[in-house]
Amino acid sequence: MQSRRDTFLCASLLATALALAACADAPDAPSALGTASSSAASSAPALERRSGDESRNRPGAVYTLTNAAGGNGVVAFHRAENGALTPLGTFATGGNGVGGTLDPLTSQFAVVLNESHDALFAVDAGSDDITSFRVGQDGALTLASRLSSGGTRPNSIAVHGNLLYALNSGDNTVSGFRVGSGAQLAALPHSTRSLSQGADGAAAIRFTPDGRRLIVVERVSNRIDVFAVREDGRLSDPVVTPGNGGASFGFDITSRNQPIVSETQGSLTSYALASNRTLSPITASISTGGNAPCWVIITSDGRFAYTTNSASATLAGYAVDAAGHLTSLTPNGPTGDSGAGAVPLDLDHVGNRFIYTLEAGTGTIGTFAIAADGTLTARPDVPAGTPASGMQGLAAF
């Protein structure tokens, strides 16, 4: 078994590289749900149902999470068709984050959108909540609901249709919810399940595209848990596969149910998912050409995957074939450069056109245009918050 030194968490890798010390502030008492507010006008309460495919060629929005211990909030930006971002304001969740500096949640998917982009969900790790918002046509948010996450220190969310699961890293559990009209959340009774014995460092949760499996990656114990999703939305016991490389962390899943998982020592592995829920490597530990790759995203057409080399301030891109094999797009250098001190963390895509990154070191959102061959062109950064202030997560449409 690898030691904790070998599987040292991604935030510490970043702190070492940048000579910054991460810390977690004690959370304040949660605010009352009814007093949540935003620094911008809220959107109209009615949900606008939009096709995911159509919206990729229309204006949209980009979101990140303040994760502030004294009152959590979602920072929102309107996205123009050309990818340019305009601030919409910060929308309070009514709960608390944990504060800190760089990657305090050590997770991916701390804030996520549903497929139709009319509902957004965020973790409140400091108050053990999940908050939902309705998304307006301009991208502005209206608070819908806030519920207990069903465990402690939620750090990642997965949503498929009207089913949502929260990953609770504090007690190594997952808990289920139903998403109703107006983005209202309701706890799914008797849905809380524990990760397998010995779980440590749960970092990310994701449904397979067909919704039949729910996958959790454990960073410190370096394992991947695969649950079967039953017809009532509840889960089977997990089947556990050891990670191929060291410190498996963030991931995304191809349309053929092939997880692509980052390994913080500087590599990615793609996996085949068998019918018995075991995983086997397809492309094993391909180099990212940088340090601390912790987050992964796949474009809508499934042709390209990208990861952020957080301690190197670069992005690495890969071509993905139908069998799940990975080929570096730029084997002799980075696919994208965020700039010195940026510390790119979470990332998301808009169709096959743009990649957005949370650059936690500088407190900005980075924008990259995706070329037909998958290579990236950087656009100007947009301020999002205070540098190294504990911001986490990114979602875009």
Question: Does position 226 have pLDDT exceeding 80, yes or no?
Answer: yes
CB 216 within 8 A of CB 205: yes
Among candidate residues 277, 234, 178, 248, the one with its CA nearest the CA of residue 7: 248
Cβ count near 3 (within 10 Å): 7
Provide DSSP, 134-184. EE-TTS-EEEEEEEE-SSSSEEEEEEETTEEEEEETTTTEEEEEEE-GGG-
Q: 2-6 — which CB contacts under 8 Å span 24+ positions? A: 2/222, 2/246, 2/247, 4/220, 6/246, 6/247
Is the separation of the CB atoms in 263 and 243 below 8 Å? Answer: yes
CB 148 within 8 A of CB 199: no
Q: Note whether 138 and 86 are within 8 A (CB).
A: no
Average pLDDT, the chain: 88
Sign (positive/negative) of CA torsion 266, 350, 207, 273?
negative
Evaluate if residue 25 carries a pLDDT over 90: no
Report the alpha-carbon distance of residue 75 to residue 393 in Å, rounded: 10
Range name among 45-54, 77-86, 372-381 with the lowest pLDDT average: 45-54
Domain ranges of the chain: 10-396
pLDDT at 52 over 60: no
- Model confidence at 392, pLDDT cuts 50, 70, 90, reads very high
Q: Please write the tens of the pLDDT for every residue from 242-301.
A: 999 989 999 999 999 999 999 999 999 999 999 999 999 999 999 999 999 999 999 999
Helix then strand then coil, in percent of the chain rounded to 5, is 5, 45, 50
Q: How confident is the model at residue 210 (pLDDT cuts 50, 70, 90)?
A: very high
> What is the Cα–Cα distance from 210 to 108, expressed in whole angstroms?
20
Q: pLDDT band for position 54 (50/70/90)?
A: very low
* CATH fold of 10-396: Methylamine Dehydrogenase; Chain H (2.130.10)
Per-residue exposure over 128-138, b if at least 16 CB sit within 10 Å of its own CB, e if not: bbbbbbbbbeb
The token pair at 354 is 């743009």
Helix extents (H) in 289-395:
none
More confident residue, 224 or 26: 224
Tens of pLDDT along 103-149?
A: 999 999 999 999 999 999 999 999 999 999 999 999 999 999 999 99
17 confidence band (pLDDT: 50, 70, 90): very low
| pLDDT higher at 126 or 4 | 126
- Residues 32, 37, 38: CA angle, nearest 5 degrees: 150
Residue 339 and residue 360 in contact, taking contact as beta carbons nearer than 8 Å: no
* Residue 163 pLDDT level (bands cut at 50, 70, 90): very high
Give the three-state DSSP class for 11.
Answer: helix
C-alpha–C-alpha distance, residues 350 and 82, integer Å: 11
- At residue 341, does pLDDT exceed 60? yes
Spatial distance between the Cα atoms of 214 and 47, rounded to a whole number of angstroms: 27
What is the CB neighbour count within 10 angstroms for residue 231? 5
What is the distance of C-alpha 316 from the center of its chain? Answer: 17
The identity of residue 109, as a single letter, is F
**How many Å apart are CA 307 and CA 272, to the nearest integer?**
19
Mean pLDDT of 45-50: 30
Contact between 94 and 32 under an 8 Å Cβ cutoff? The reply is: yes
User: For position 379, what pLDDT does the model report?
Assistant: 97
Looking at per-residue pLDDT, the higher value among 34 and 166 belongs to: 166
Measured CA to CA, the distance from residue 74 to residue 66 in angstroms comes to 6
Mean of pLDDT values over 346-366: 97
pLDDT tens digits along 59-74: 999 999 999 999 999 9
Query: Does residue 53 have a pLDDT over 80?
Result: no
Is residue 333 exposed (0-12), middle (13-18) or buried (19+ Cβ within 10 Å)? exposed
Statement: residue 99 has pLDDT above 60: yes
| Least confident stretch, 18-22, 87-91, 361-365 | 18-22
Residue 69 burial (CB count, 10 A) = 21
Report the alpha-carbon distance of residue 25 to residue 152 in Å, rounded: 16
**Res 57: pLDDT:** 62
Is the pLDDT reported for residue 175 higher than 80?
yes
